[in-house]
Structure 1
Amino acid sequence: MRTLYLHIGFHKTGSSSLQLAMKEQTQALNKAGFEFLSLGKKGNSSGCIEVLREKGRVRFKLNSRLDELLAASRGKQTIVSAEHLCFLHQRESIELVQQVCAKYFDNVKVIVYLRRQDLQAISFKKQGARGAASNRSSSSKLLGHSEGAFPTLNKDIEIYYDYFSKLKLWETVFGTDSLQVRLFSREALHGGDIVSDFLALLDGDMEISARRVNEGVGRKEFLLTHKLLELGVAESELIKLKPMMLEDDSQLLPSRSDARQFFMRFKQSNHLLNNTFLNNDSGLAFDTDFSGYPEQGNDWITVRDLSGWTPEILSAGIQRPEGLRDALLADKLQQMVRKKFSGEVLTQELEDLANCLSASAYVAKDQQPWYRALKKKKTSGR
């Protein structure tokens, strides 16, 4: 009897750390009776899912690579990790995955880790700021590049974060006993990390060292990358600006009210999730403590930010740097008009605007020929 342990994500729940740890310690897994297969060099098999953006919508398609990967398997207990599988939300798509798995395995254990929607969204959108082009990464295709820590909600994003509906389909297709739903939080994970927790779910006795993968994105890179991509700045220009963004490692945080509001958009789904797959005292599947967020967020670009960034933008070697600076300022002024800031905030923004412009202000002085200095200047007109 052959068993497949199929890890399907979600994104930003330590998947990269888990995959890399298993890839690097494949021999230890083999000794314990487990075979680890992957499509990527770092242990990721998400290449079996194609993420396509067409006509303003995102769709997901299973290709032939999962079948090819499983066909090469020889172990009685095999592990595959592909967080892009969590994108699938239509029954026929999930049934295709089940049919491929059933060709080679008698038993399939589907393992999924869930993270509270607001925490996951911030982290996932940070991933979209690591690149320099839009519609290339899965984060960019799904979440876009609008300003703020959270994506602008649309149908595709609402489907993605409706954990219950999606997992109910996986359970229906693979069977009630096949799906194992885990909460991604340090307190809930066995041993405090995903590697230890995942190994505890396997029918074996082994130890593998946890592998931390640093995918941090500072506030400056997050805000400026998303804004420049939203404005349509060319990839070649953005690449030149990236070094000046990476110098900042300050943390980006939305306001407490914005985080709570985003989470509560999925209240009904989380209530069903709690009753079916998770059991939290909050009744909403997750801890509802939002005290880790500040009252006032810092997830939007201020004129003071632009004032500090202007000298770096002007010296980055991009084409017409003054034009980019002015485009950012024009965008900011439009926001100020739309948001109708209070008097105190507006005054501060206008003062910073003056400072920003003065940093690159230049007035050409009238140049006199050298011989004019030898002649006595007139002190009055006619």
Structure 2
Amino acid sequence: MRAIVHIGTEKTGTTSIQKLLYVNRRKFRGAGYHFIQSAGKQNNRALPAYCINDDKFDDFYRHQGILTLEQRQEYKAGFLREFEAELASLPRGVHTVLISSEHFHSRIRTEEEMDNVHALLSPYFEDIRILCYLREQVTTCASYYSTHLKSGGMESFDVFMQRCAPGNYYFNYHTMLANWERCFGRDALEVALFDKQHFLNGDLLDDFTARIDPSLVGKVNKNFQSENESLTPAGQAFALAVNRAFPIRTASVEEGAIRDKCRKLINQRSRGKGQLPSLESQHELFDAFRESNELLREKFFPDEGPLFREPSKPPPAPLELDDTLIEMLMAVLKIVKKEGRGVLDARQYSEACGRIIASLIESTAGSDADTPGRSITLSEADARLLRRAAVKLGHRDLPAAIKLLRMAHEIDPSLSGVGVKLEEFQRRLDEGVEKSRYMIAYFFDGPDLESWEEERRDALVSRLQEWVHTLELAEGSPMQALREPCRFEPGGAQTSPGTTARSYTMILAASLEEAREAAQRCPFLDFGVAVEVYSLNALARQAPAQ
């Protein structure tokens, strides 16, 4: 029996292809092709999940409550039985099994994992074809940002785009395909470009169908609606804000339900094309892949010119705090208020709303919040919420805090304290408050960060990068390591120190309160690492005696 394994890559119309296979599974069966179902009805994700290393975290297992190695081994044994039973039940007329999952691209990253794929499939199929589409790397990464947010991601767009580098297996198609070639052979790989100019009839689904069986082109049903997973820049900004307010790894089940309700509203209102880097950044990233893409062209497309077109599309206009955005903000905050009853106390509710507003302000940096003539009807409660968020922001982001106070004043000019705070914040901004140095120290009770499990370490590092971007660093690297501590007692005796800091960050802040607030937002706290804050003051030097 033969197998055709469609591996994506991600962001190349895989959802539409999988829906085509599922909707037309009887039509394909009649022609001798069976779309595997035991691995997932449309996305056969169980197959790549089966093949990833046991020490690697994967949300496929987490979503099914499979958290331990024993549970994973039990699941894998059950899946293998179902997979074998499905293959054994196929009628004689079936000569080819169709498998599709873009997670073969995103999850299978090492030689060992690729060996696992080969070991799983080769006993059942004497001929295995690997089919994939390739999309230009910069647009792939930008498109994947919406998926990142829908999965609970908390990285800003700029930070997320740093992943787009030749050293990243996910984006280096030459390295990725070399791994597949190593196990399955060059002749087994069918590589296509994700570009309308290269599709049969200019249509992805016709092109894919022809690669399965040219005689089926025009005979399969393509009249179905494929979900658009992309979010507009505004939708991305709101998804990021909600994720930061209710982190997927630390939020309770009830808080997760609030996040999901907010996401549903965002998805309904904000479908469309998302952010793009500046044209200059697009060209820099594009140039970084020239060498590996040329090697790819020489191997798989020797008669083609350059595989991908040079970037030419400018990014969308920056977000502004206009009426539409404010209306959406209030709709999201009302969901938090309604669904948070009995779940969030007053402090938690205020903090969640503050995080959402602060994140949105960050995403709309540079917009003018006091544009007159708003048509949105906001309540006094909304104004009070904006005032509370502004006071919190005033410790670290005066321009953003001033914007929120102006919005609150516009909603309710009589709201107590707004005018006074506006004057104070504007004065501090104009005068430039002198800031002092503070040290944030980190105390690990367990092993060093380098020895953590890769997925856990990557999750922490991602959040730390986001956090550091909110700080004003006093000097040097964002984080300095403290190694091999040694303590000397009076008299010169050397002893082992007690609990000591493993690393630290030096920051500038207007007050100890501001430094403490920054430390309380440190992601280390969610990973069992204690944090301490110190004010650094030079000791007064005594004048010499005359």
TM over 0.5: yes
Aligned position for 2:210: 200
Aligned position for 1:27: 26
Residues 195-238 of structure 1 show CA distances to partners (whole Å, capped at 9, x for unaligned) of: 21122123552132334412242333221112332354542332
Shift of 1:85: 1.0
Match of 2:175 among 165, 169, 172: 165
Distance 1:46 1:172 in 2: 22
Distance 1:358 1:241 in 2: 26
Distance 2:329 2:101 in 1: 41
Q: Does 1:270 align with 2:269?
A: no
Change (3 A) 1:312 1:128: same
Decide which structure has the larger Cα Rg and report it.
2
Match of 1:124 among 144, 152, 162: 144
Query: What secondary structure, in the 3-state scheme, does the structure 1 residue paired with 2:97 have?
Result: strand
Q: Does 1:190 align with 2:210?
A: no
Structure 2: any 5+ residue segments left out of the alignment? Answer: 62-71, 248-254, 341-345, 372-398, 417-546
Distance 1:24 1:145 in 2: 36
Distance 1:244 1:80 in 2: 33
Shift of 1:257: 2.7
Change (3 A) 1:34 1:309: closer
Q: Does 1:221 align with 2:235?
A: yes
Distance 1:335 1:127 in 2: 18
Aligned position for 2:354: 326
Aligned position for 2:408: 357
Change (3 A) 1:190 1:71: farther
Q: Does 1:177 align with 2:177?
A: no
Query: What secondary structure, in the 3-state scheme, does the structure 1 residue paired with 2:116 have?
Result: helix
Distance 1:226 1:219 in 2: 10
Match of 1:72 among 86, 105, 109: 86
Distance 1:69 1:170 in 2: 22
Distance 1:265 1:66 in 2: 41
The 8 Å contact of residues 5 and 128 in structure 2, kept in 1 or not, is answered as yes
Identical-residue share of aligned pairs (%): 19
The 8 Å contact of residues 369 and 404 in structure 2, kept in 1 or not, is answered as no
Distance 2:25 2:57 in 1: 41
Aligned position for 1:235: 256
The 8 Å contact of residues 8 and 112 in structure 1, kept in 2 or not, is answered as yes
How does 1:263-342 map onto structure 2 within 5 Å? Answer: 263-279=286-302, 283=306, 285-288=307-310, 290-294=311-315, 297-298=317-318, 302-304=320-322, 307-318=326-337, 319=340, 323-330=351-358
The 8 Å contact of residues 53 and 113 in structure 2, kept in 1 or not, is answered as no
The 8 Å contact of residues 237 and 360 in structure 2, kept in 1 or not, is answered as no
- Superposition RMSD on alpha carbons, in Å? 4.0
Amino acid at match of 1:4: A
Structure 1: any 5+ residue segments left out of the alignment? Answer: 135-139, 366-382
Distance 2:245 2:53 in 1: 22
Query: What secondary structure, in the 3-state scheme, does the structure 1 residue paired with 2:198 have?
Result: coil
Q: Does 1:86 align with 2:105?
A: yes
The 8 Å contact of residues 7 and 81 in structure 1, kept in 2 or not, is answered as yes
Aligned position for 1:44: 43
Aligned position for 2:129: 109
Aligned position for 2:275: 253
Out of 27-36 and 229-238, give the one that drifted further: 229-238
Shift of 1:48: 1.9
Indicate the structure whose relative CO is greater, using CA pairs within 8 Å and at least 6 residues apart: 1
Shift of 1:57: 10
Change (3 A) 1:57 1:241: closer
Match of 2:221 among 209, 212, 223: 209
Query: What secondary structure, in the 3-state scheme, does the structure 2 residue paired with 1:159 have?
Result: coil
Residues 263-290 of structure 1 show CA distances to partners (whole Å, capped at 9, x for unaligned) of: 334333222212222358664x2122x2
Change (3 A) 1:20 1:230: same
The 8 Å contact of residues 307 and 356 in structure 1, kept in 2 or not, is answered as no
Could you state the TM-score of these two structures normalised by the residue count of structure 2? 0.54
Out of 70-79 and 157-166, give the one that drifted further: 70-79
Distance 1:281 1:352 in 2: 53
